[in-house]
A and B are shown apart, each in its own frame.
Chain A
C-alpha cells in the first residue's frame, strides 16, 4: 500500500503534501519535476538487503518514466561487486549502474578504475565530507547495538565495541551481511588485525547467527538474545511498525561500533540517461522517502533526519574515510580463516 502511495506522491508531488517531506528544504535540492524524462534501457545491479524499500523507489521511478526500461539484477552486495569486476575482466559490459547497500563493495569496484566519473554538479549536492568523484553516497547508516529493554538496561552496555563480548550478554549477529563486514574492515583499521581476530572469535563463540540484520533486531526484540549488532534503521523500522517493541538503541563511542557507513551508487556507463537516473536518487522526494520510510540518513542538505535518530553531532563516529572500507577482501579472508563465515 505504501508503495502505491509513494508512486502517487512522486507522480504528483509538486504541490501536494508529500509523505514525510522535509519541512525546511532549500531550493538547491532538486525535485523530480525538475528532471528530464528518462528514455532508454538501464541495467541496474542492486545490492540486496533492504527488503522492499529500495524496490519502491525504483518502481516509482519506472512508473514516472514509462519510456525507461529498467533491468534489475539483485544479489548480495559483495557478490555483485565481484560480478562486476569479473565481468569487466572477461570483457562483458552488463551493468550500467551499481546501487550497493554498503560503501565497501562500492570501493571494491572504484578501486578497479572502472567507475565513470560523475558530473560535478551531481557531486556538489552532497554534504562536503561526502563528496567523491567516482561514486555518490545515497544515504547514511550508523552501526548500533540494538538491545532488549526487558533484559538489559542501557547502562549495562559498554561504550567500547571491543568490550561488548566481555559482559556475559547474549549476542546476535549476521556476519554474512555486507554492512557487518564493512564494520569489521573499520575495526581492522582502528584496532589492528590481531584485536579484531580475538573479538571475532569471542563473539563467534557467544553469538546466535542470523541471515540478515533485520533478523538480528527481530531476535533481540523477541528476547532470543540481549544485544545485537545492526545498522540503526532496522530497529527504527521495527519500532515504527510496533511502537511497544522492547527495543532500545545503544551507541558505542569513537570506535567502529558506531561507524557511519553509506549506501552508494556509481555509474559504469557514461551516458546521459544513466546520470539522470542517478539524479533521481538525490531528489527531495526520494531522499525524503528514504529518510521517513526507510529511516536512513539523508546526506544532502535540506532533507530532515529520520525520526528517532539522535542528532549526528551527538554520536562520535570513528575517523574513517568511507573509501577505506573497500579493503574488503582481507576482511573476508580473516573471517573465513576464523571460520566466522
Chain B
C-alpha cells in the first residue's frame, strides 16, 4: 500500500474512533430514555459563570503580560516569559489545593496574620484559580499577534500626534482583538472541562455534578449531564475554529523602552502573577512537607505515573504523524483532522463514564489499560497533531519537491526529508500529550484497572480522606516533571 493511502486510512480510522464516546453517550441516552432526562439549570448557570468569569480574568491578566513581554524592551525578557508560561505545566487542581489551604479561616495566612483573609472557594474561588493557570493561553495568542505588529504603524500614529492611550486603543487593540478572543476561547474550553478545581473548591459545575451523580448510583443522570456538557463544548469548539488568527510578518519589530519606574511596575506585575500561580503552591507543599515530615509514595505509583503516560505519548506521536500529514495534503484529510478534535473537547469525566458503559457491554475491555489508554489517546492526540501540522504548514515545499525531482520514491521522501524536518514538532507534541496524561485525574479515577494508582489519583485520595499533607511529595513530583517537560518543549520550539 502506498504511504499516502496508509496515512489516509489511519486518519479515517482514528476519526471514526473519535466519534465513539459521543456515540456511546447517545446510545446510553436512548437506552435510558424511559427514566427521563435530567436537567439542572443551576448547574448550567454555575458552569457558565465559571467559564465566562475565568475567560475574562484570564484576559485581564494575559493581555497586559503579553504587551509587557513583547512590545516593551524589558531586561531578562526571555526568562520572565518562561516563568510566565510555567502555569501551563501545573495542573490547576494543585493551585486549588494551595489556595484552599492558604486562605480562609484557619488557613496558613490566618495563622500568620492578625486578620482572617477571605477564603478562596466556590464559584469566585474557582474563577481566580483557573484564571491563574489558564492566562498563558491568552498570553501566547496575544503575543503572537503582537509579534506581527509593525512598528512603522506606531511611528505613523505618533507622527500624526496620537498619545500612548490612543495608540493603544486604535492601533494595538484592533490588531490583537481576534487573538485575545482565540486565547479566551481556549481558556473557556479548559475551564468548562476541568474537574479538579471546581471539585476541590466546591463549585457545582457540570464536571463535578457528573462525578457526584456517577458516585451516587446516578448513572443515567451522569450520562444526561454529559450529553449537555458535550453539546455546549461543541458550540465553543465551533467558535474556536472560526477564531484562528493568521500571522503576518512585520517589517520592523516594536520595542518600546520603559523608564526605570515603568520597568519596576512591569516587574511587579509579572512577579505577582508568577508568585501566585507557581511560587505559592510550591511554598505550601514544602510547608506540608516540613510539618509532616517526608512521607514518600510507593515506587509503583511513581512508575505508573510515568510509564503509562510515556507509552500513551509514543502512541499519540505515532498516530499524529499520519493525521497531520493527511490534513496538510488534502481537503478530506482536513475534515478528518477536525473530527479527531472531538476527543479534546470531551472532558475526562465524560470520557470515563462513556467508557465504563462501553466496558460493561463488552466485558473483556472493562477497566483495562486498553480503554484507559484509548481514553488518553482520544483526549490528547489533537495536541500532537496541531503541533505537527503547524510545522508542516509553515514549511517550504522546496526540499520535498527537490527530493521528488531527484527521483526519490514517496517513502524515501517521507523518511529522509519530511520526517527529519518535523521531528522536533513530533517530540514537542508528544511531550505536551505526556504532560497532560501525567496529571489527568477524572478519567484515570473512573477507568483505571484494579490496583492502578497514579500520583494524581493518590493526591485525590488523600484529599478526600482529609490528609492534605500526604499530597506534598506527589504534588512536587508532578510539578517538577511538568516544568522539566515544559522546558524541553520550549527549547524544541521557538516561542
From A68-76, A151-159, A197-205, A263-271, give the one contacting chain B: A68-76
* Closest chain B residue, CB of each to CB of A45: B450
Q: Is B363 an interface residue (CB 8 A)?
A: yes
Q: Write the A71-112 contact mask toward B (1 if CB under 8 angstroms, else 0).
A: 111111011001000110111101000000000000000000
Inter-subunit contact B215/A76 (CB<8 Å): yes
Inter-subunit contact A51/B218 (CB<8 Å): no
- Interface size of A by CB at 8 A reads 41
Q: Is B114 an interface residue (CB 8 A)?
A: no
Inter-subunit contact A1/B293 (CB<8 Å): yes
Q: Write the B19-40 contact mask toward A (1 if CB under 8 angstroms, else 0).
A: 0000000000000000000001
A92–B362 Cα distance when bound, in Å, is: 10
Please report whether the interface of chain B is mostly helix, strand, loop or mixed according to DSSP.
helix
Q: Is B467 an interface residue (CB 8 A)?
A: yes
Residue in contact with A72 in the complex, picked from B200, B218, B451, CB distance below 8 Å: B451
Residues of A within 8 A of B467 (CB): 51-52
Q: Is B217 an interface residue (CB 8 A)?
A: yes
Q: Is B461 an interface residue (CB 8 A)?
A: yes
A57–B200 Cα distance when bound, in Å, is: 28
Residues of B within 8 A of A71 (CB): 450-451
What's the minimum C-beta distance from B329 to chain A, rounded to whole angstroms?
43
A223–B217 Cα distance when bound, in Å, is: 34
Which residues of A line the B interface, CB within 8 A?
A: 1, 43, 48-52, 71-76, 78-79, 82, 86-87, 89-92, 94, 176, 209, 211-212, 214-215, 218, 221-224, 328-329, 332, 335-336, 339, 341
Which residues of B line the A interface, CB within 8 A?
A: 40, 42, 104-106, 199-200, 202, 212-219, 221, 293, 360-361, 363, 366-367, 445, 450-451, 453, 461-467, 470
Q: Given the known inter-chain contacts A48-B465, A73-B450, A329-B217, please indicate yes or no for A224 contacting B106, CB distance below 8 A.
A: yes
Residues of A within 8 A of B450 (CB): 43, 71-73, 94
Q: Given the known inter-chain contacts A90-B360, A90-B361, please indicate yes or no for A48 contacting B464, CB distance below 8 A.
A: yes
A78–B214 Cα distance when bound, in Å, is: 10
Closest 5 CB pairs of A and B: A214-B466, A51-B465, A222-B106, A71-B451, A79-B215
A82–B353 Cα distance when bound, in Å, is: 13
Q: Given the known inter-chain contacts A86-B360, A87-B360, A341-B212, please indicate yes or no for A50 contacting B465, CB distance below 8 A.
A: yes
* Closest chain A residue, CB of each to CB of B214: A79
Residues of B within 8 A of A92 (CB): 360, 363, 366
Highest count of chain A CB atoms <10 Å: which of B202, B293, B450: B450
A90–B367 Cα distance when bound, in Å, is: 13
A78–B104 Cα distance when bound, in Å, is: 31
A51–B461 Cα distance when bound, in Å, is: 8
A78–B470 Cα distance when bound, in Å, is: 25
A76–B9 Cα distance when bound, in Å, is: 42
Highest count of chain B CB atoms <10 Å: which of A211, A214, A329: A211
What's the minimum C-beta distance from B488 to chain A, rounded to whole angstroms?
33
What's the minimum C-beta distance from A328 to chain B, rounded to whole angstroms?
7
Please report whether the interface of chain A is mostly helix, strand, loop or mixed according to DSSP.
mixed
Residues of A within 8 A of B445 (CB): 75
Residues of B within 8 A of A48 (CB): 461, 464-465
Inter-subunit contact A49/B105 (CB<8 Å): no
What's the minimum C-beta distance from B112 to chain A, rounded to whole angstroms?
15
Residues of A within 8 A of B42 (CB): 339
A339–B39 Cα distance when bound, in Å, is: 12
What's the minimum C-beta distance from B358 to chain A, rounded to whole angstroms?
11
A80–B213 Cα distance when bound, in Å, is: 13
Residues of A within 8 A of B366 (CB): 87, 90, 92, 94
A82–B221 Cα distance when bound, in Å, is: 14
**Interchain Cβ contacts under 8 Å between A and B, 27 examples:** A43-B450, A48-B464, A49-B465, A52-B462, A52-B465, A73-B451, A75-B215, A78-B215, A79-B216, A82-B217, A87-B360, A87-B366, A92-B360, A92-B363, A176-B212, A176-B215, A209-B202, A211-B199, A211-B463, A211-B464, A214-B466, A215-B466, A222-B106, A224-B104, A332-B217, A332-B218, A341-B213
A48-B465, A73-B450 known, 4 other contacts, Cβ within 8 Å: A43-B450, A52-B462, A209-B202, A218-B106
Residues of A within 8 A of B363 (CB): 90-92
* Closest chain A residue, CB of each to CB of B367: A94
A212–B451 Cα distance when bound, in Å, is: 23
A299–B374 Cα distance when bound, in Å, is: 46
Q: Given the known inter-chain contacts A94-B367, A214-B466, please indicate yes or no for A223 contacting B105, CB distance below 8 A.
A: yes
A341–B208 Cα distance when bound, in Å, is: 11
A79–B214 Cα distance when bound, in Å, is: 7
What's the minimum C-beta distance from B400 to chain A, rounded to whole angstroms?
51
